[in-house]
Amino acid sequence: GIQVEQSPPDLILQEGANSTLRCNFSDSVNNLQWFHQNPWGQLINLFYIPSGTKQNGRLSATTVATERYSLLYISSSQTTDSGVYFCAVGVISSGGSYIPTFGRGTSLIVHP
């Protein structure tokens, strides 16, 4: 199956710093999503971005599908950005269903 690798696995920042998280994937995909999991376990979808660039406030994401990677940028980080960031890529199963595969995540801690 498709392989999804995220880097770095862990990241510690001071409040106000910027960061870049990376997601590499091993095959062509129909779908790519970025999620944030807060310290209480809830996953929230940040971006649906199979290609191109999107921005939402201090967060932005870029996917270069031809080179099989995506980047998530966090600017002016805040303590509320702490948590785990997951990349999930989707392929179509043999039965014709869309199956998302998750990376292992980047754990981010932002200190005040």
| DSSP SS3 for 62 | strand
Query: Of these, 56, 66, 95, 112, which contacts other proteins (CB under 8 A)?
Result: 95
Cβ neighbours for 94, distance < 8 A, ≥ 6 positions apart: none
Query: Of these, 11, 85, 105, 110, which contacts other proteins (CB under 8 A)?
Result: 105
Determine the residue type at 14.
Q
Shortest Cβ 43–other proteins spacing (Å): 4
- Does 109 engage in binding with other proteins (CB under 8 A)? no
Stretch that binds other proteins, among 12-20, 25-33, 63-71, 73-81 (CB under 8 A): 25-33
Shortest Cβ 48–other proteins spacing (Å): 5
Provide the edge-to-edge strand list for the sheet that holds 52-56. Answer: 4-7, 19-25, 69-74, 59-64, 52-56
Cβ neighbours for 24, distance < 8 A, ≥ 6 positions apart: 4, 5, 6, 7, 68, 69
**Positions that interact with other proteins (CB under 8 A):** 1, 30-31, 33, 35, 40-45, 48, 50, 86, 88, 90, 92-93, 95, 97-105
